[in-house]
């Protein structure tokens, strides 16, 4: 269990709502749906109403600082089965990078039961970045609350700005301050872009994932823990 998962949840009942397409830029096609993740009748482009309102505020702050720039969304709502699908995909990728095969295993739980040492070795990297796809209502994955969003910045000409590594990269380059103190104008700009994204999101009440420059939460356990609040207001959305 991660420290933030010990935060109790006092669910506020805020509904999941669609994210208006005209307010933000979006990564299209959506990667996880393209991979066949099991969304069922859900859409990744949903957030809790209060979270969406905060995100609109972050966009307004960005526009004030950088006219013409937009928040570009990569992912938002993620049902627990989607989280499990993506986490297992990451296990397979990490296994391949380490010269291992997960053929014959159907998921992370089966891997943990049948090959606990291999599971533990891979999980050390996977769960540094990905939330555990827990079915326990006391410990929902952040994205499954509808209160977390992965995003980047788009400039006034519609180009993604350089953030130093792609979203979902599982290396130290993903750490928010990895490029702090870097030499050279390009890497200094990367760090400045990450600071700008954090500034506009924090101005609206979001908290950033400690290991991911792109992940921000509002009102879930991760955000409550980061802000020192006694409880979260968003639990599992469905």
Would you name the residues annotated as active-site residues? 212
Give the C-alpha distances (Å, rounded to integers) separating 118 from 113, 203, 236.
Answer: 10, 42, 29
d(CA 79, CA 206): 21
d(CA 93, CA 110): 17
Counted residue by residue, the chain has a size of 238
Strands 207-208 and 25-26: unpaired
Identify the sign of the CA torsion 120, 125, 126, 127: positive
Q: Which of 48, 52, 24, 65 is nearest to 199 (CA)?
A: 65
- Taking a C-beta distance cutoff of 8 angstroms, is the pair 124, 91 a contact? no
The phi and psi torsions of 138 (rounded to 5 degrees) equal -80, -15
Question: Exposed e or buried b for every residue in 9-45, given b needs 16+ CB within 10 A?
Answer: beeeebebbebeeeebbbbeebebeeeebebeebebb
Angle at 87 between CA 85 and CA 89, to 5 degrees: 70
């Amino acid at each position: 269990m991660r420290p933030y998962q010990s935060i109790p949840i006092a669910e506020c009942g805020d509904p999941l709502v669609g994210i208006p397409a005209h307010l933000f830029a979006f990564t299209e096609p959506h990667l996880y749906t393209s991979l066949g993740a099991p969304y069922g009748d859900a859409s990744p482009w949903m957030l809790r109403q209060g979270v969406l309102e905060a995100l609109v505020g972050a966009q307004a702050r960005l526009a004030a600082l950088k006219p013409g720039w937009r928040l570009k969304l990569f992912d938002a709502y993620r049902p627990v089965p989607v989280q499990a699908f993506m986490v297992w995909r990451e296990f397979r990728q990490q296994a391949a990078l380490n010269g291992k095969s997960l053929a014959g295993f159907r998921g992370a739980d089966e891997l943990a039961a049948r090959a606990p040492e291999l599971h533990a070795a891979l999980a050390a990297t996977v769960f540094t970045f990905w939330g555990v796809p827990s079915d326990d209502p006391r410990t929902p994955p952040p994205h499954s609350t509808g209160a977390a969003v992965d995003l980047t910045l788009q400039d006034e000409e519609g180009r993604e700005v350089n953030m130093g590594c792609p979203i979902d990269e599982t290396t130290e380059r993903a750490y928010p301050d990895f490029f702090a103190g870097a030499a050279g104008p390009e890497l200094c700009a990367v760090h400045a872009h990450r600071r700008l994204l954090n500034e506009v999101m924090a101005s609206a009440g979001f908290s950033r994932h400690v290991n991911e420059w792109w992940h921000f939460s509002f009102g879930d356990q991760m955000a409550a823990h980061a802000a020192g609040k006694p409880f979260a207001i968003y639990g599992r959305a469905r």
